[in-house]
């Protein structure tokens, strides 16, 4: 898991900490900073790597508070770590260039990002070593899902697929379906969260910004940013509608 070093000291103020999401970000203009010079001069794509650094910081600033620098799906320490490909997709940059940029940014010689990768990430289910040792909660969950009853696991996967298709049916902008499905299978939203998502989507469809398809966010970005938590103002109350069956 990657973390932006000293995020709170460099990018947050007492005022911005009150914002659920920041709309702008301020960077140092000290071009003589030795870390900046090492980044841009130490590689033929140095300035591109600096641009990736800026984009990563901009993405994190748009996540919900409290922002502590963690490059996870929700910006929190216990969130799902973002893979290199996911970061590349979120900031619209080539994956290989993002990979190299992260390696350089996390090098102590530059040190703007720290590499705090866990023993087991989103794509690995094999655990090597003593399972009785202290493990994080996500790791325990992975162990249980990896070695649990296969029939139960298949049933859970089947239900998740059905529920995802129900979500997809009500989402107005049909793009990045495979990526959304991967998010869904990894996070496994429960019934309560289904209802919250559905209520939010139904309300947003009635807002001025969603009347123009151009301003409707992609579902993948909406899921990753947990945008169903955003407050919706000036919406007339509607009768309760259940989009997901209890079956």
Pick the more confident residue, 96 or 116: 96
Quote the pLDDT of residue 49.
Answer: 94
d(C-alpha 230, C-alpha 99), whole Å? 31
Strands 2-4 and 113-115: antiparallel
Using one digit for the tens of pLDDT, what is the confidence trace for 13-43?
888 788 877 777 778 778 888 889 999 988 9
Q: Nearest to residue 56, comparing CAs of 19, 20, 105? A: 105
> Exposed, middle or buried by CB within 10 Å (0-12, 13-18, 19+), for 130?
exposed
Average per-residue pLDDT in the chain?
76
End-to-end CA distance of the chain: 37
96: confidence class by pLDDT, cuts 50, 70, 90: very high
Quote the pLDDT of residue 104.
Answer: 93
Please give the structure tokens belonging to residue 17: 């900490």
Quote the pLDDT of residue 233.
Answer: 52
d(C-alpha 22, C-alpha 123), whole Å? 30
Q: Nearest to residue 122, comparing CAs of 70, 193, 180, 72? A: 72
160: confidence class by pLDDT, cuts 50, 70, 90: low
Report, as an integer, the average pLDDT of 114-139: 44
Q: Which residues contact 146 (CB under 8 A, 6 or more apart)?
A: 125, 126, 127
Q: What is the reported pTM?
A: 0.49
């Amino acid at each position: 898991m990657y973390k932006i070093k000293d995020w709170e000291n460099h990018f947050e103020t007492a005022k911005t900490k009150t914002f659920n999401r920041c709309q702008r970000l301020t960077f140092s203009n000290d071009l003589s900073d030795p870390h900046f010079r090492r980044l841009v001069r130490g590689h033929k794509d140095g300035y591109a790597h600096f641009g990736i650094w800026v984009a990563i910081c901009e993405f994190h600033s748009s996540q919900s508070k409290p922002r502590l620098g963690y490059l996870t799906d929700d910006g929190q320490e216990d969130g799902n770590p973002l893979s290199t490909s996911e970061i590349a997709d979120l900031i619209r940059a080539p994956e290989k260039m993002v990979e190299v940029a992260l390696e350089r940014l996390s090098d102590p010689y530059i040190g703007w990002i720290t590499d705090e990768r866990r023993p087991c990430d989103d794509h690995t289910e094999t655990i090597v070593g003593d399972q009785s040792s202290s493990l994080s909660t996500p790791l325990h969950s992975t162990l249980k899902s990896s070695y649990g009853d296969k029939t139960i696991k298949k049933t859970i996967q089947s239900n998740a697929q059905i529920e995802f298709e129900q979500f997809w049916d009500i989402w107005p902008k049909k793009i990045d379906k495979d990526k959304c499905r991967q998010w869904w299978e990894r996070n496994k939203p429960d019934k309560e969260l289904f209802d919250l998502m559905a209520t939010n989507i139904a309300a947003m469809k009635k807002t001025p910004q969603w009347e123009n398809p151009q301003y409707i966010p992609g579902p993948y970005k909406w899921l990753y940013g947990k945008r169903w938590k955003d407050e919706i103002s000036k919406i007339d109350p509607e009768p309760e509608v259940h989009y997901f069956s209890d079956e």
